[in-house]
Structure 1
Amino acid sequence: MTFEALQQQRECILLECISGSRAYNLQLPTSDTDIKGIFILPQPELYGMTYTPQVANQSNDEVYFEIKRFLELLEKNNPNILELLNTSTDNQLFRHPLMNLVKPADFLSRLCLDTFAGYANTQMKKAKGLNKKINQSYPETRKDVLEFCYVVAGGRSVSLKDWLRENKLQQEDCGLAAIDHFRDVYALYHTSQFGAGVAFKGVFSGADANEVQLSAVPKGQDPLAIMQFNKDGYTVYCKDFAAYWEWVALRNEARYEHNRELGNDYDSKHMMHTFRLLTMAEEIALYKEVRVHRADREFLLRIRNGEFSYDTLMEMAAQKLDHMKQLYAVSDLPEHPDPALAEALLISIREEYYVPKKQ
């Protein structure tokens, strides 16, 4: 089964809903329309050698879960799946009668404390990640190995680039030899120390190099300098450099500009969803229901519009987490859903779908 094949076999769809901001009542004029749904594999595919747990379109804003995968995630109290099951009727584009067998209240449990809090924590990390990236910047050209090399001179460490410049030397004419028992420390030689015919590889091979390189050095000469390559620092730098430019390439420019215009140093949309998730978890403990359509739209959009500082939001989130824990500590929700129920439902739904009862 593929997304395209499912669209050609729409009789396999059991539930199809508008999801995301429009389901949450948090849409803006520029909001996209996301779709989530549930499907059941055609019987020949179910009996075949492969199983398709979910399908999605190329942009991943239309996602459908196979009924078995849906029930597996529902049993784990996955927030996205609980939201899908509890989507309000005005946002349900299609609902097969078999979905009436799945009662939302049968699957709510104390696991929601961890799953909703976990998703909220992920949103906070994403907001914090943007906080970090907004306040850092990397030029388009990556630093090379030479920027992380140092020599000992006059009882102190000196940048190798500065040392070479001061001594009017080129790195291409230098050769390195490893020093036993000294990690990332090398003896540095220069061709001027040797007669004609001696050539070295240089300290590194070029801008794309991730390591220094060794040369064959004739014996009988003391090194011109002792050099250390800060390999750990270079590795961290390269990782951060790559992550930054990947973020630049993939970031939602409209959201980024929105946050810049607000003067925010965090992603306000991620923080909005943090509070949505935390409040939904509180409501599950209090009312034993998942309220997808948000009555607190005004407050959540205030967060989206950047009316709170990052530190204030983090403090508010910590208070809500504490409150959640108190609510679940006294809740009479079961520890977890009954796995036998999910299995029984799966069997019933497949039997009813594949072998309809004769009238």
Structure 2
Amino acid sequence: MGIQDIKDRLNTDKYEFLRTDPRLGENILILTTAGSIAYGTNVDTSDIDIRGVTIETKQDLLGLSSFEQFEDRITDTVIYGLKKFISLCLDSNPNVLEILGTKDEHLLVITKEGQLLRDNADLFLSKKAIHSFGNYATAQLRRLKNALARDSYPQAEKEQHILESILGQMEHLKRTYKSFTNEEINLYIDQSDKPEMETEIFIDINLKHYPLRDLKNIYSDMSNVVKNYSKLNHRNNKKDEPHLNKHAMHLIRLLITGTEVLEGKGINTYREKEREFLLDIRKGKYSYNELFEMVDEYERRFRLAAENTSLPDKPDYKRVEELMLEIYSNIWGFGR
């Protein structure tokens, strides 16, 4: 499906909300493709995903109402309010940053202020990308390994995969809740007393004066990894093969994109150079062993880029705030 076809589709009644919703219409700063079309990995059956940024109304900014994002699930359209969008960009959220890096040809709406955001995309990039791109990708890839290998790997090896997935979350848990050391919460594999298991994951906890709710949430997050693996383990392998290949393709794409961000090459949503390679993954050209080896290699490249990145520890919040004020001033006259 070409871009003109998408533009024609947006003019149908199905997308009437783009013109009639009071927070959209002429308030939209950026409207662009997302998902497979934005990455260049779409096939004939791919859905049309639309993402964008809109400026809040004066009532949202100064009055009693508030607005963060508009979502239409039927058309898979998500449009963020400017404040919410910038907040997510400052946290290096991959799914939101990619709005700033789509091809110019994929822009369905772009205003002067929307272009100002895209021209200043580098302001949002920092070492936060190490965690936002890397932790998400590696955790999901380990889950993918678990799913793909469930029929051939012995129980003990599957248990090791689950442990690696949980350990991959540890830095996130330490940042989200009250921090703890590896000695205070220690996970490891040991022999199991259960007849159906050779080994299993054990935990040693040695915490003092630790918030109960934080501990509950930490346990819940760890438990969800085990539950998600269990769900994957009961799916039909043949039926899910295309889905898993697509999942692998997007996760490798995420590692490639994150590596470029850390190398100072900006946000490049459309994967021109790797397009055919990613499509081959989607089509199932590679064996699972080959896929795992590629994952390891792209993780290695990502870690190398993370160790040598020249990105700042955090974004320049003052310059980002000045950019926001310029946009609000241009449109609503604030500060004049």
What TM-score bracket applies, with the shorter chain setting the length? 0.5 to 0.7
How many Å apart are 1:129 and its aligned residue?
6.2
Secondary structure of 1:269 counterpart: helix
- 1:27-46 equivalent positions in 2, closer than 5 A: 27-46=42-61
> Counterpart in 2 of 1:229?
none
> Counterpart in 2 of 1:276?
253
> Counterpart in 2 of 1:77?
92
> Counterpart in 1 of 2:200?
none
> Which segment drifts farther, 107-116 or 271-280?
107-116
The answer to whether the aligner puts 1:333 opposite 2:315 as a matched pair is: no
What TM-score, normalized to structure 2? Answer: 0.63
How many Å apart are 1:315 and its aligned residue?
3.2
Asked whether the 8 Å contact 2:245–2:283 carries over to 1, the reply is yes
Distance in 1, matches of 2:86 and 2:252, equals 26
> Counterpart in 2 of 1:119?
136
Distance in 1, matches of 2:19 and 2:38, equals 22
Distance in 2, matches of 1:20 and 1:351, equals 32
> Counterpart in 1 of 2:26?
11
Distance in 2, matches of 1:297 and 1:327, equals 22
The answer to whether the aligner puts 1:309 opposite 2:287 as a matched pair is: yes
> Which segment drifts farther, 96-105 or 120-129?
120-129
Asked whether the 8 Å contact 1:6–1:12 carries over to 2, the reply is no
Amino acid of the structure 2 residue aligned with 1:270: H
Residues 187-219 of structure 1: per-residue CA shift (max 9 Å, x gap): xxxxxxxxxxxxxxxxxxxxxxxxxxxxxxxxx
Residues 211-249 of structure 1: per-residue CA shift (max 9 Å, x gap): xxxxxxxxxxxxxxxxxxxxxxxxx9xx969x749x97x
Distance in 1, matches of 2:227 and 2:263, equals 43
Residues 142-185 of structure 1: per-residue CA shift (max 9 Å, x gap): xxxxxxxxxxxxxxxxxxxxxxxxxxxxxxxxxxxxxxxxxxxx
- 1:159-178 equivalent positions in 2, closer than 5 A: none
Secondary structure of 1:267 counterpart: helix
How many Å apart are 1:313 and its aligned residue?
2.2
- 1:229-308 equivalent positions in 2, closer than 5 A: 244=231, 257=239, 259=241, 267-294=244-271, 295-308=273-286
Distance in 2, matches of 1:322 and 1:314, equals 12
Distance in 2, matches of 1:104 and 1:11, equals 23
Structure with greater helix percent: 2
Distance in 2, matches of 1:122 and 1:350, equals 38
Distance in 1, matches of 2:288 and 2:75, equals 29
Q: Quick one: which of 8, 14, 20 aligns to 2:35? A: 20
The answer to whether the aligner puts 1:95 opposite 2:99 as a matched pair is: no
Distance in 1, matches of 2:267 and 2:100, equals 9
| Equivalent residues, number | 245
Asked whether the 8 Å contact 2:264–2:310 carries over to 1, the reply is no
Structure 1 moving runs of 4+ over 3 Å? 3-7, 128-135, 255-258
Asked whether the 8 Å contact 2:123–2:320 carries over to 1, the reply is no
Amino acid of the structure 1 residue aligned with 2:141: M
Distance in 2, matches of 1:42 and 1:259, equals 46
Secondary structure of 2:141 counterpart: helix
Structure 2 unaligned spans of 5+: 1-14, 153-222
How many Å apart are 1:342 and its aligned residue?
2.2
Asked whether the 8 Å contact 1:133–1:244 carries over to 2, the reply is no
Asked whether the 8 Å contact 1:268–1:305 carries over to 2, the reply is yes
Amino acid of the structure 2 residue aligned with 1:109: S
- 1:101-250 equivalent positions in 2, closer than 5 A: 101-102=116-117, 103-125=120-142, 127-128=144-145, 130-131=147-148, 244=231
Which of the pair has more CA radius of gyration? 1
> Counterpart in 1 of 2:183?
none
Asked whether the 8 Å contact 1:123–1:273 carries over to 2, the reply is no
How many Å apart are 1:323 and its aligned residue?
2.1
Distance in 2, matches of 1:97 and 1:72, equals 20
